[in-house]
Protein backbone atom coordinates (compact mmCIF):
# COMPACT_ATOMS: atom_id res chain seq x y z
CA UNK A 1 0.00 0.00 0.00
CA UNK A 2 1.04 3.60 -0.50
CA UNK A 3 0.39 5.33 2.81
CA UNK A 4 0.75 9.02 3.62
CA UNK A 5 1.30 9.75 7.32
CA UNK A 6 0.68 13.34 8.45
CA UNK A 7 2.51 14.71 11.49
CA UNK A 8 5.98 15.13 12.92
CA UNK A 9 6.03 13.65 16.40
CA UNK A 10 7.17 10.44 18.05
CA UNK A 11 3.57 9.23 17.71
CA UNK A 12 3.84 9.48 13.92
CA UNK A 13 7.26 7.82 14.03
CA UNK A 14 5.70 4.99 16.06
CA UNK A 15 2.96 4.64 13.42
CA UNK A 16 5.53 4.58 10.63
CA UNK A 17 7.64 1.99 12.49
CA UNK A 18 4.58 -0.23 13.04
CA UNK A 19 3.69 -0.03 9.35
CA UNK A 20 7.29 -0.91 8.44
CA UNK A 21 7.24 -3.92 10.77
CA UNK A 22 4.46 -5.61 8.79
CA UNK A 23 5.18 -8.60 6.58
CA UNK A 24 3.85 -6.94 3.44
CA UNK A 25 6.01 -4.00 2.40
CA UNK A 26 4.45 -0.56 2.09
CA UNK A 27 5.56 2.62 0.44
CA UNK A 28 5.36 5.21 3.19
CA UNK A 29 5.28 8.95 2.62
CA UNK A 30 5.28 11.47 5.46
CA UNK A 31 4.69 15.19 5.89
CA UNK A 32 6.27 17.07 7.50
CA UNK A 33 7.98 14.18 9.35
CA UNK A 34 11.22 14.45 11.30
CA UNK A 35 14.75 13.08 11.13
CA UNK A 36 13.72 9.65 12.44
CA UNK A 37 10.64 9.32 10.23
CA UNK A 38 12.87 10.22 7.28
CA UNK A 39 14.83 7.02 7.83
CA UNK A 40 11.83 4.81 7.03
CA UNK A 41 9.58 7.07 4.98
CA UNK A 42 9.95 9.47 2.10
CA UNK A 43 9.43 12.98 3.40
CA UNK A 44 7.18 14.92 1.05
CA UNK A 45 6.55 18.62 0.78
CA UNK A 46 2.86 19.13 1.42
CA UNK A 47 1.23 21.42 3.97
CA UNK A 48 -0.60 19.01 6.27
CA UNK A 49 -2.94 21.80 7.40
CA UNK A 50 -4.15 22.56 3.86
CA UNK A 51 -7.03 20.23 2.90
CA UNK A 52 -6.75 21.10 -0.79
CA UNK A 53 -3.01 20.51 -0.86
CA UNK A 54 -3.22 17.15 0.93
CA UNK A 55 -6.07 15.96 -1.29
CA UNK A 56 -4.30 17.10 -4.45
CA UNK A 57 -1.10 15.37 -3.39
CA UNK A 58 -2.90 12.14 -2.50
CA UNK A 59 -4.69 12.05 -5.86
CA UNK A 60 -1.64 12.93 -7.89
CA UNK A 61 0.53 10.29 -6.21
CA UNK A 62 -2.07 7.53 -6.01
CA UNK A 63 -2.03 7.37 -2.20
CA UNK A 64 -4.11 4.42 -0.95
CA UNK A 65 -4.54 5.60 2.64
CA UNK A 66 -3.90 8.82 4.55
CA UNK A 67 -3.25 8.51 8.30
CA UNK A 68 -3.67 11.75 10.23
CA UNK A 69 -1.52 11.87 13.38
CA UNK A 70 -2.17 15.16 15.17
CA UNK A 71 -5.40 17.04 15.83
CA UNK A 72 -4.60 20.22 13.90
CA UNK A 73 -5.16 18.79 10.38
CA UNK A 74 -8.39 17.17 11.62
CA UNK A 75 -9.67 20.49 12.90
CA UNK A 76 -8.61 22.07 9.59
CA UNK A 77 -10.90 19.65 7.71
CA UNK A 78 -8.22 17.57 6.01
CA UNK A 79 -10.09 14.30 6.59
CA UNK A 80 -13.36 15.81 5.30
CA UNK A 81 -11.69 16.91 2.07
CA UNK A 82 -10.09 13.51 1.48
CA UNK A 83 -13.30 11.63 2.22
CA UNK A 84 -15.22 13.88 -0.17
CA UNK A 85 -12.89 12.77 -2.93
CA UNK A 86 -13.20 9.12 -1.97
CA UNK A 87 -9.64 8.81 -0.67
CA UNK A 88 -9.48 6.47 2.34
CA UNK A 89 -8.42 8.44 5.42
CA UNK A 90 -7.94 7.41 9.02
CA UNK A 91 -9.06 10.40 11.05
CA UNK A 92 -12.38 12.11 11.83
CA UNK A 93 -13.82 15.12 10.07
CA UNK A 94 -13.66 18.59 11.62
CA UNK A 95 -17.06 18.29 13.23
CA UNK A 96 -16.32 14.95 14.86
CA UNK A 97 -12.88 16.18 15.95
CA UNK A 98 -14.69 18.62 18.24
CA UNK A 99 -14.88 15.71 20.63
CA UNK A 100 -11.29 16.73 21.39
CA UNK A 101 -11.34 20.38 20.37
CA UNK A 102 -14.32 21.47 22.45
CA UNK A 103 -14.75 20.30 26.03
CA UNK A 104 -18.34 21.60 25.91
CA UNK A 105 -19.11 19.49 22.83
CA UNK A 106 -17.51 16.46 24.50
CA UNK A 107 -19.61 16.94 27.63
CA UNK A 108 -22.78 17.21 25.54
CA UNK A 109 -22.00 13.98 23.68
CA UNK A 110 -21.15 12.27 26.98
CA UNK A 111 -24.50 13.35 28.39
CA UNK A 112 -26.31 12.14 25.29
CA UNK A 113 -24.46 8.81 25.46
CA UNK A 114 -24.87 8.54 29.22
CA UNK A 115 -21.13 8.07 29.64
CA UNK A 116 -19.70 8.09 33.19
CA UNK A 117 -17.81 11.34 33.72
CA UNK A 118 -17.22 13.90 36.47
CA UNK A 119 -19.71 16.63 37.29
CA UNK A 120 -18.90 19.87 35.54
CA UNK A 121 -20.19 23.42 35.29
CA UNK A 122 -19.68 26.05 32.61
CA UNK A 123 -18.62 29.39 33.98
CA UNK A 124 -18.99 32.54 31.87
CA UNK A 125 -17.32 34.91 34.32
CA UNK A 126 -15.32 34.94 37.54
CA UNK A 127 -18.40 34.99 39.77
CA UNK A 128 -19.74 31.84 38.15
CA UNK A 129 -16.27 30.29 38.37
CA UNK A 130 -16.06 31.03 42.10
CA UNK A 131 -19.53 29.60 42.64
CA UNK A 132 -18.65 26.37 40.84
CA UNK A 133 -15.30 26.07 42.65
CA UNK A 134 -17.07 26.32 45.96
CA UNK A 135 -19.73 23.85 44.93
CA UNK A 136 -17.23 21.14 43.97
CA UNK A 137 -14.60 22.01 46.59
CA UNK A 138 -10.83 21.41 46.54
CA UNK A 139 -8.82 20.14 44.74
CA UNK A 140 -10.04 22.51 42.04
CA UNK A 141 -10.12 21.60 38.33
CA UNK A 142 -10.51 24.38 35.74
CA UNK A 143 -10.32 23.77 31.99
CA UNK A 144 -10.21 26.09 29.00
CA UNK A 145 -12.77 25.04 26.41
CA UNK A 146 -10.68 24.86 23.23
CA UNK A 147 -7.43 23.22 22.19
CA UNK A 148 -4.67 24.50 24.45
CA UNK A 149 -1.89 21.91 23.94
CA UNK A 150 -2.20 20.59 27.47
CA UNK A 151 -1.88 24.08 28.96
CA UNK A 152 -5.60 24.67 29.37
CA UNK A 153 -6.06 22.57 32.49
CA UNK A 154 -5.19 23.37 36.08
CA UNK A 155 -5.62 21.03 39.03
CA UNK A 156 -4.83 22.83 42.28
CA UNK A 157 -5.67 23.19 45.96
CA UNK A 158 -5.15 26.92 45.65
CA UNK A 159 -8.50 28.62 45.00
CA UNK A 160 -6.80 31.86 43.91
CA UNK A 161 -4.68 29.99 41.38
CA UNK A 162 -7.82 28.31 40.03
CA UNK A 163 -9.48 31.71 39.68
CA UNK A 164 -6.40 33.20 38.02
CA UNK A 165 -6.34 30.33 35.52
CA UNK A 166 -10.01 30.95 34.73
CA UNK A 167 -9.33 34.68 34.37
CA UNK A 168 -6.64 33.94 31.78
CA UNK A 169 -8.98 31.89 29.59
CA UNK A 170 -12.37 33.59 30.15
CA UNK A 171 -11.72 36.27 27.50
CA UNK A 172 -11.79 33.40 24.94
CA UNK A 173 -15.11 32.04 26.22
CA UNK A 174 -16.59 30.05 29.09
CA UNK A 175 -14.37 27.77 31.14
CA UNK A 176 -15.26 24.38 32.55
CA UNK A 177 -15.05 23.79 36.30
CA UNK A 178 -14.96 20.10 37.10
CA UNK A 179 -15.29 17.84 40.07
CA UNK A 180 -11.86 16.43 41.02
CA UNK A 181 -11.60 12.72 40.28
CA UNK A 182 -9.18 10.69 42.32
CA UNK A 183 -7.48 7.52 41.07
CA UNK A 184 -5.02 6.18 38.52
CA UNK A 185 -5.27 7.46 34.95
CA UNK A 186 -5.61 5.11 32.00
CA UNK A 187 -5.56 5.84 28.29
CA UNK A 188 -7.53 3.47 26.11
CA UNK A 189 -7.69 3.80 22.33
CA UNK A 190 -10.46 2.61 20.05
CA UNK A 191 -10.50 2.24 16.31
CA UNK A 192 -13.83 3.33 14.91
CA UNK A 193 -15.25 3.22 11.40
CA UNK A 194 -18.20 5.36 12.45
CA UNK A 195 -20.22 2.33 13.49
CA UNK A 196 -18.06 -0.56 14.69
CA UNK A 197 -15.58 -0.04 17.52
CA UNK A 198 -12.43 -2.08 18.16
CA UNK A 199 -10.40 -1.49 21.33
CA UNK A 200 -6.60 -1.42 21.43
CA UNK A 201 -4.91 -2.04 24.79
CA UNK A 202 -4.65 0.23 27.84
CA UNK A 203 -1.55 2.28 28.61
CA UNK A 204 -0.60 4.80 31.25
CA UNK A 205 0.83 8.21 30.48
CA UNK A 206 2.93 10.37 32.83
CA UNK A 207 1.76 13.94 32.25
CA UNK A 208 3.75 15.90 34.83
CA UNK A 209 7.24 17.11 34.04
CA UNK A 210 9.03 15.79 37.12
CA UNK A 211 9.44 12.56 39.06
CA UNK A 212 6.73 11.74 41.57
CA UNK A 213 4.12 13.52 39.40
CA UNK A 214 5.48 16.91 40.42
CA UNK A 215 5.90 19.98 38.26
CA UNK A 216 3.81 21.37 35.42
CA UNK A 217 1.59 19.41 33.04
CA UNK A 218 3.26 18.44 29.77
CA UNK A 219 2.28 16.67 26.57
CA UNK A 220 3.44 13.45 28.29
CA UNK A 221 6.86 12.42 29.64
CA UNK A 222 6.60 8.65 29.37
CA UNK A 223 4.23 5.70 29.24
CA UNK A 224 3.98 1.97 29.74
CA UNK A 225 1.77 -0.95 28.83
CA UNK A 226 0.25 -3.40 29.78
CA UNK A 227 -1.39 -2.33 33.04
CA UNK A 228 -1.30 -5.45 35.21
CA UNK A 229 -2.97 -3.70 38.16
CA UNK A 230 -6.22 -3.33 36.21
CA UNK A 231 -6.74 -7.07 36.65
CA UNK A 232 -7.05 -6.61 40.42
CA UNK A 233 -10.09 -4.37 40.02
CA UNK A 234 -11.70 -5.80 36.90
CA UNK A 235 -10.78 -9.50 37.06
CA UNK A 236 -8.62 -9.12 33.97
CA UNK A 237 -7.38 -6.39 31.66
CA UNK A 238 -9.86 -7.72 29.09
CA UNK A 239 -12.64 -7.21 31.65
CA UNK A 240 -11.67 -3.55 31.95
CA UNK A 241 -11.44 -3.13 28.18
CA UNK A 242 -14.85 -4.76 27.68
CA UNK A 243 -16.45 -2.51 30.27
CA UNK A 244 -15.03 0.69 28.76
CA UNK A 245 -15.94 -0.45 25.25
CA UNK A 246 -19.53 -1.06 26.34
CA UNK A 247 -20.05 1.94 28.61
CA UNK A 248 -17.93 4.56 26.84
CA UNK A 249 -16.72 3.90 23.29
CA UNK A 250 -19.77 2.25 21.76
CA UNK A 251 -22.32 4.73 23.15
CA UNK A 252 -20.12 7.69 22.13
CA UNK A 253 -19.67 6.44 18.58
CA UNK A 254 -23.44 5.88 18.39
CA UNK A 255 -24.13 9.37 19.76
CA UNK A 256 -21.71 10.91 17.27
CA UNK A 257 -23.47 9.14 14.41
CA UNK A 258 -26.87 10.33 15.65
CA UNK A 259 -25.39 13.81 15.95
CA UNK A 260 -24.55 13.76 12.23
CA UNK A 261 -20.81 13.67 12.86
CA UNK A 262 -19.77 10.02 12.49
CA UNK A 263 -16.45 9.31 14.18
CA UNK A 264 -14.02 7.59 11.81
CA UNK A 265 -10.55 7.29 13.25
CA UNK A 266 -9.05 6.89 16.67
CA UNK A 267 -11.16 7.58 19.73
CA UNK A 268 -8.85 8.19 22.68
CA UNK A 269 -10.56 7.82 26.04
CA UNK A 270 -8.70 9.49 28.90
CA UNK A 271 -9.99 7.74 32.00
CA UNK A 272 -9.64 7.88 35.76
CA UNK A 273 -10.33 4.69 37.68
CA UNK A 274 -12.03 6.05 40.81
CA UNK A 275 -13.32 4.06 43.75
CA UNK A 276 -16.80 4.61 42.36
CA UNK A 277 -15.88 3.28 38.92
CA UNK A 278 -14.31 4.38 35.63
CA UNK A 279 -14.83 8.03 34.67
CA UNK A 280 -13.96 9.82 31.43
CA UNK A 281 -11.87 12.95 31.87
CA UNK A 282 -11.32 13.68 28.21
CA UNK A 283 -11.57 12.43 24.67
CA UNK A 284 -9.05 12.94 21.95
CA UNK A 285 -9.69 12.38 18.29
CA UNK A 286 -6.27 10.90 17.53
CA UNK A 287 -3.64 8.52 18.83
CA UNK A 288 -2.12 9.58 22.16
CA UNK A 289 1.46 10.66 22.48
CA UNK A 290 3.47 8.98 24.11
CA UNK A 291 1.07 6.04 24.68
CA UNK A 292 1.12 5.07 21.00
CA UNK A 293 4.87 4.52 21.27
CA UNK A 294 4.23 1.67 23.76
CA UNK A 295 0.90 0.32 22.48
CA UNK A 296 1.90 -0.24 18.84
CA UNK A 297 5.01 -2.35 19.59
CA UNK A 298 2.67 -4.88 21.26
CA UNK A 299 0.21 -4.93 18.34
CA UNK A 300 0.35 -8.24 16.48
CA UNK A 301 -2.36 -7.48 13.90
CA UNK A 302 -1.13 -5.56 10.85
CA UNK A 303 -1.77 -1.87 11.61
CA UNK A 304 -2.38 -0.93 7.96
CA UNK A 305 -5.21 -3.43 7.75
CA UNK A 306 -6.90 -2.03 10.85
CA UNK A 307 -6.53 1.59 9.76
CA UNK A 308 -7.75 0.82 6.24
CA UNK A 309 -10.78 -1.10 7.55
CA UNK A 310 -11.67 1.81 9.80
CA UNK A 311 -11.29 4.23 6.89
CA UNK A 312 -13.44 2.05 4.61
CA UNK A 313 -16.13 1.16 7.14
CA UNK A 314 -15.35 -2.57 7.27
CA UNK A 315 -14.03 -2.97 10.84
CA UNK A 316 -16.88 -5.36 11.58
CA UNK A 317 -15.27 -7.92 9.27
CA UNK A 318 -11.93 -7.72 11.08
CA UNK A 319 -10.88 -9.85 14.04
CA UNK A 320 -10.17 -7.99 17.28
CA UNK A 321 -6.66 -6.49 17.32
CA UNK A 322 -4.24 -8.85 19.10
CA UNK A 323 -1.43 -7.81 21.46
CA UNK A 324 1.69 -9.53 22.80
CA UNK A 325 2.25 -9.86 26.55
CA UNK A 326 5.58 -8.10 26.62
CA UNK A 327 6.25 -5.08 28.81
CA UNK A 328 6.93 -1.87 26.90
CA UNK A 329 8.20 1.34 28.48
CA UNK A 330 8.87 4.69 26.85
CA UNK A 331 10.77 7.60 28.34
CA UNK A 332 10.68 11.06 26.76
CA UNK A 333 13.82 13.14 26.48
CA UNK A 334 12.85 16.82 26.75
CA UNK A 335 14.83 19.95 25.98
CA UNK A 336 16.06 22.27 28.69
CA UNK A 337 13.22 24.60 29.68
CA UNK A 338 10.42 22.28 28.52
CA UNK A 339 7.48 22.74 28.91
CA UNK A 340 7.65 26.50 29.61
CA UNK A 341 10.33 27.61 27.13
CA UNK A 342 12.30 24.82 25.46
CA UNK A 343 15.80 25.59 24.23
CA UNK A 344 16.22 24.30 20.66
CA UNK A 345 18.99 23.88 18.12
CA UNK A 346 21.33 21.79 20.27
CA UNK A 347 23.02 18.64 19.03
CA UNK A 348 21.84 15.17 20.06
CA UNK A 349 24.36 12.33 20.14
CA UNK A 350 24.29 8.65 21.04
CA UNK A 351 21.00 7.61 19.39
CA UNK A 352 22.64 4.79 17.43
CA UNK A 353 24.42 3.57 20.54
CA UNK A 354 21.13 3.60 22.44
CA UNK A 355 19.51 1.50 19.72
CA UNK A 356 22.34 -1.00 20.11
CA UNK A 357 20.73 -2.19 23.33
CA UNK A 358 18.51 -5.23 22.87
CA UNK A 359 14.80 -4.46 22.69
CA UNK A 360 15.37 -0.71 22.33
CA UNK A 361 14.45 1.69 19.58
CA UNK A 362 14.18 5.45 19.47
CA UNK A 363 11.06 7.22 18.25
CA UNK A 364 11.97 10.71 17.12
CA UNK A 365 9.84 13.74 17.91
CA UNK A 366 11.46 17.17 17.54
CA UNK A 367 14.59 16.22 15.62
CA UNK A 368 16.14 17.39 12.38
CA UNK A 369 19.32 16.67 10.46
CA UNK A 370 21.56 19.66 9.94
CA UNK A 371 24.34 18.33 7.76
CA UNK A 372 25.65 15.27 9.60
CA UNK A 373 24.36 16.45 12.96
CA UNK A 374 21.11 15.52 14.64
CA UNK A 375 19.61 18.54 16.42
CA UNK A 376 16.68 19.15 18.73
CA UNK A 377 13.98 21.38 17.26
CA UNK A 378 11.42 21.46 20.06
CA UNK A 379 10.37 20.50 23.58
CA UNK A 380 9.80 16.76 23.47
CA UNK A 381 12.81 15.66 21.47
CA UNK A 382 12.68 11.87 21.30
CA UNK A 383 11.38 8.78 23.02
CA UNK A 384 13.43 5.83 24.06
CA UNK A 385 11.18 2.77 23.70
CA UNK A 386 12.18 -0.49 25.38
CA UNK A 387 10.55 -3.89 25.37
CA UNK A 388 11.19 -6.62 27.88
CA UNK A 389 9.83 -9.84 29.28
CA UNK A 390 9.20 -7.91 32.51
CA UNK A 391 8.89 -4.23 33.42
CA UNK A 392 12.14 -4.49 35.34
CA UNK A 393 13.89 -5.57 32.16
CA UNK A 394 12.17 -2.98 29.96
CA UNK A 395 12.99 -0.20 32.42
CA UNK A 396 16.57 -1.27 32.78
CA UNK A 397 16.96 -1.22 28.99
CA UNK A 398 15.17 2.12 28.59
CA UNK A 399 17.33 3.92 31.14
CA UNK A 400 20.55 2.26 29.92
CA UNK A 401 19.65 3.58 26.48
CA UNK A 402 18.88 7.04 27.85
CA UNK A 403 22.34 7.10 29.46
CA UNK A 404 23.89 6.72 26.04
CA UNK A 405 22.09 9.76 24.62
CA UNK A 406 23.41 13.26 25.17
CA UNK A 407 21.65 16.58 24.71
CA UNK A 408 22.90 19.54 26.73
CA UNK A 409 20.44 20.63 29.43
CA UNK A 410 17.93 17.89 28.58
CA UNK A 411 15.79 16.20 31.19
CA UNK A 412 13.69 13.06 31.54
CA UNK A 413 11.71 11.33 34.26
CA UNK A 414 13.41 8.46 36.08
CA UNK A 415 10.25 6.88 37.52
CA UNK A 416 8.36 5.74 34.43
CA UNK A 417 6.71 2.36 35.19
CA UNK A 418 8.65 2.19 38.48
CA UNK A 419 5.54 1.20 40.39
CA UNK A 420 4.89 -1.88 38.26
CA UNK A 421 8.49 -3.07 38.00
P1 LIG B 1 -7.12 16.92 30.23
O2 LIG B 1 -6.47 17.88 29.28
O3 LIG B 1 -8.58 17.11 30.37
O4 LIG B 1 -6.71 15.52 29.96
O5 LIG B 1 -6.45 17.20 31.67
C6 LIG B 1 -5.06 17.12 31.85
C7 LIG B 1 -4.75 16.39 33.12
O8 LIG B 1 -5.36 17.03 34.24
C9 LIG B 1 -5.30 14.97 33.15
O10 LIG B 1 -4.44 14.06 32.55
C11 LIG B 1 -5.44 14.72 34.63
O12 LIG B 1 -4.20 14.37 35.18
C13 LIG B 1 -5.82 16.06 35.16
N14 LIG B 1 -7.29 16.16 35.25
C15 LIG B 1 -8.14 16.61 34.32
N16 LIG B 1 -9.41 16.56 34.75
C17 LIG B 1 -9.37 16.08 35.99
C18 LIG B 1 -10.37 15.81 36.98
N19 LIG B 1 -11.66 16.05 36.78
N20 LIG B 1 -9.95 15.29 38.15
C21 LIG B 1 -8.65 15.04 38.39
N22 LIG B 1 -7.67 15.30 37.51
C23 LIG B 1 -8.01 15.82 36.33
N1 LIG C 1 -0.83 11.55 26.11
C2 LIG C 1 -1.71 12.64 26.08
C3 LIG C 1 -2.22 12.99 24.76
O4 LIG C 1 -1.85 12.42 23.75
O5 LIG C 1 -3.06 13.87 24.71
pLDDT in tens, 314-325: 999 998 999 999
363 in the same domain as 284: no
Half-sphere exposure of 141 (CA within 13 A, CB side): 14
Span 279-301, average pLDDT: 97
Domain contains 189:
yes
Nearest CA to ligand 2 atom 3: 288
Q: How many residues does the chain have?
A: 421
Domain contains 244:
yes
Q: How far apart are the first and last CA of the chain?
A: 39
396 in the same domain as 369: yes
336 in the same domain as 297: no
In terms of residue numbers, what domain contains 33? 2-94
Domain contains 336:
yes
197 in the same domain as 272: yes
209 in the same domain as 132: no
Span 194-223, average pLDDT: 96
214 in the same domain as 310: yes
Cα distance between residue 195 and residue 273, in whole Å: 26
Q: How much of the chain, in percent, has pLDDT values that exceed 70?
A: 99
CA of 77 to the centre of ligand 2 (A): 21
Mean predicted lDDT score pLDDT of the chain: 96
Domain contains 101:
no
132 in the same domain as 147: yes
The string of pLDDT tens digits covering residues 134-158 is: 999 999 999 988 766 556 888 999 9
The string of pLDDT tens digits covering residues 11-22 is: 999 999 999 999
Does residue 330 line the site of ligand 2, with CB under 6 A?
Answer: no
CA of 258 to the centre of ligand 1 (A): 28
Domain contains 110:
no
Cα distance between residue 47 and residue 78, in whole Å: 10
Q: Residue 401: is the preceding peptide bond cis (ω within 30°)?
A: no
360 in the same domain as 274: no
Q: Looking at residue 82, which CATH number applies to its domain? A: 3.40.50.20
Q: Are 269 and 280 in contact (CB under 8 A)?
A: yes
Domain contains 57:
yes
Whether the per-residue pLDDT at 53 is higher than 90: the answer is yes
Does residue 288 line the site of ligand 2, with CB under 6 A?
Answer: yes
Total domains in the chain come to: 4
Which ligand 2 atom is the nearest neighbour of the CA of 205?
A: 1
Does residue 289 line the site of ligand 2, with CB under 6 A?
Answer: yes
Whether the per-residue pLDDT at 217 is higher than 90: the answer is no
Q: Which of 272, 292, 317 is the last residue of a domain?
A: 317
DSSP codes of every residue in 43-64: E----TT-HHHHHHHHHHTT-S
Q: Which of 317, 337, 359 is the last residue of a domain?
A: 317
Amino acid sequence: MKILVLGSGAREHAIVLALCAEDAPHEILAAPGNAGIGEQATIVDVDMLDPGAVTGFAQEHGVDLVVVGPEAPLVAGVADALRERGIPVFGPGAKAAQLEGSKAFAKRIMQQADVPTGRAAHARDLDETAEALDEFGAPYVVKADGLASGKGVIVTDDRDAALAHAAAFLPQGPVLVEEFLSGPEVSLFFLSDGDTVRPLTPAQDFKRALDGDEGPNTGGMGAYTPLPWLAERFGSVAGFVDEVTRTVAEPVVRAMDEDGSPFIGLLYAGLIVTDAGVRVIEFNARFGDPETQVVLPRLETPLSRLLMSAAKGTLEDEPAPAFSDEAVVTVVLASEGYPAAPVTGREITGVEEAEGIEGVHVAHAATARVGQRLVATGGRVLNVVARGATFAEARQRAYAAMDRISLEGAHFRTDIAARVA
